[in-house]
A and B are shown apart, each in its own frame.
Chain A
Amino acid sequence: GAVVSQHPSWVICKSGTSVKIECRSLDFQATTMFWYRQFPKQSLMLMATSNEGSKATYEQGVEKDKFLINHASLTLSTLTVTSAHPEDSSFYICSASYRARGNEQFFGPGTRLTVL
């Protein structure tokens, strides 16, 4: 149990376009969802935290107008990278947690974004 999926697994887009990444908790209702960014050979950096039906809380230095997070339901959160540029190319990972499992985070498989 506690499976998290992400779609797409990889995406290539042109500079200036927007890209949406979906994160779904498949067999549980997530209390909270998290979005991370990971550059090659580096650690995970938390971008934002979101609860269903409320605005996301962004970490310092993360542009909220650039990285739009919508947590529409207890099983779905989306990250939209708006007007993407090559420097936005990265690996994006989501995770989800719920209270019945002690708020342990369950991770999605990640999405590789390449902006040309």
Chain B
Amino acid sequence: AQTVTQSQPEMSVQEAETVTLSCTYDTSESDYYLFWYKQPPSRQMILVIRQEAYKQQNATENRFSVNFQKAAKSFSLKISDSQLGDAAMYFCAYRSGNYGGSQGNLIFGKGTKLSVKP
């Protein structure tokens, strides 16, 4: 079975600084997707960034980028120029590329609560 581990329950960053959130996963599959979701106090889940396992290039979305280390099964999220609006829970998630069995189920880590200090 696949697992996702986020070892940092809480993180704090100064506004305009850079912070990295860690995520590791375990799988025997070769085809899969990895995601970072943001859940602000409103509790609406927002997709921040996604990475296809077959792509070597790290995904980027504006101030958000990932460091995807497939061999190490590591998928960290870097937030540059942190803003007050970045404060939220961040969840790392895994999805199998084999839709037939799992129907695209997401497996979530326990989350990291990010605080941004002004």
Binding site for B on A (CB under 8 A): 32, 34, 38, 42-44, 46, 49, 51, 57, 91, 93, 95, 97, 103-105, 107, 109-110
Which residues of A are found within 8 Å of B16, using beta-carbon distances? none
When the two chains form their complex, are residues A43 and B110 in contact, meaning their CB atoms are under 8 A apart? yes
Majority SS of interface residues in chain B?
loop
Total number of B residues with any Cβ neighbor in A under 8 Å: 18
When the two chains form their complex, are residues B105 and A49 in contact, meaning their CB atoms are under 8 A apart? yes
When the two chains form their complex, are residues A91 and B109 in contact, meaning their CB atoms are under 8 A apart? no
Report how far A110 CA is from B44 CA in the complex, Å.
7
Binding site for A on B (CB under 8 A): 42-47, 50, 91, 95, 99, 103-106, 108-111
Report how far A91 CA is from B105 CA in the complex, Å.
19
Report how far A44 CA is from B103 CA in the complex, Å.
17
When the two chains form their complex, are residues B106 and A43 in contact, meaning their CB atoms are under 8 A apart? no
When the two chains form their complex, are residues A43 and B45 in contact, meaning their CB atoms are under 8 A apart? no
Which residues of A are found within 8 Å of B109, using beta-carbon distances? 43
Which residues of B are found within 8 Å of A93, using beta-carbon distances? 43, 45
Report how far A107 CA is from B44 CA in the complex, Å.
7
Question: Which residue of B47, B50, B105, B111 contacts A46 across the interface (Cβ within 8 Å)?
Answer: B105
Which residues of B are found within 8 Å of A42, using beta-carbon distances? 110-111
Report how far A38 CA is from B109 CA in the complex, Å.
12
When the two chains form their complex, are residues B44 and A109 in contact, meaning their CB atoms are under 8 A apart? yes
Q: Write the nearest CB–CB distance from B30 to chain A, whole angstroms.
A: 18
